[in-house]
Amino acid sequence: MIQIIQGDITQMQVDAIVNAANTTLLGGGGVDGAIHRAAGPELLAACRQLHGCATGEAKITAGFRLPAKFVIHTPGPIWRDGTQSEAQLLQRSYANSLALAAAHDCQTVAFPSISTGVYRYPLAQAAKIALTTIRDFLATNTVVKTVTLVCFDPTTLAAYQQAYRAIV
């Protein structure tokens, strides 16, 4: 099942939340900074042990002070012009995060809108990639039951709702 809501991903009571991280995994702005602040300094210490993460890949830590059991960190692509494999990298961020969630027996997973903030990925395109990747994953996996897309603002929520209507 796919749910789309507007809210604060750091408040989600799910097995895993996904962090739209940078490649250092050492915190940053936007959702990454919010997750690090909410999880506490233990998250940064755990991330230091991971030695970064390539764009499109995913790594997992405990959730520490978050209501979520795990944080899955995935660096999405920085939008350049659409010819630098951005779509494939964004799809891999979602797919690798879902595979890691399933490998850790996570039945409920919450995602932010990866790469659409400071990385400037066009929102409508990113929403379509996210929802198509999640739909296709849920069709074949037996572990992850519910994926919630947690949109930060009404504009993002509307884009994801529109993309969802187009793929169902």
How many domains is the chain partitioned into structurally?
1
Q: State how far the Cα of 93 lies from the Cα of 51, in Å rounded to an integer.
A: 18
Where residue 168 falls among pLDDT bands split at 50, 70, 90? confident
Q: What is the pLDDT of residue 165?
A: 96
Residues with active-site annotation: 32
**Mean predicted confidence (pLDDT) in 141-166:** 97
Residue whose C-alpha is closest to residue 112's, from 153, 67, 165? 153
Query: What is the extent of the structural domain holding 159?
Result: 2-167
Residues whose CB falls within 8 Å of the CB of residue 76, separated by 6 or more in sequence, listed in order: 20, 55, 56, 89, 90, 93, 114, 115, 119, 121
82-136 pLDDT, tens per residue? 999 999 999 999 999 999 999 999 999 999 999 999 999 999 999 999 999 999 9
**Mean predicted confidence (pLDDT) in 16-21:** 98
| Residues above pLDDT 70, as percent of the chain | 100
Pairing of strands 70-75, 59-62: antiparallel
Residue whose C-alpha is closest to residue 94's, from 18, 11, 27? 18
Q: What residues form DSSP beta bridges with 115? A: none
Q: What is the CATH number of the domain that holds 58?
A: 3.40.220.10
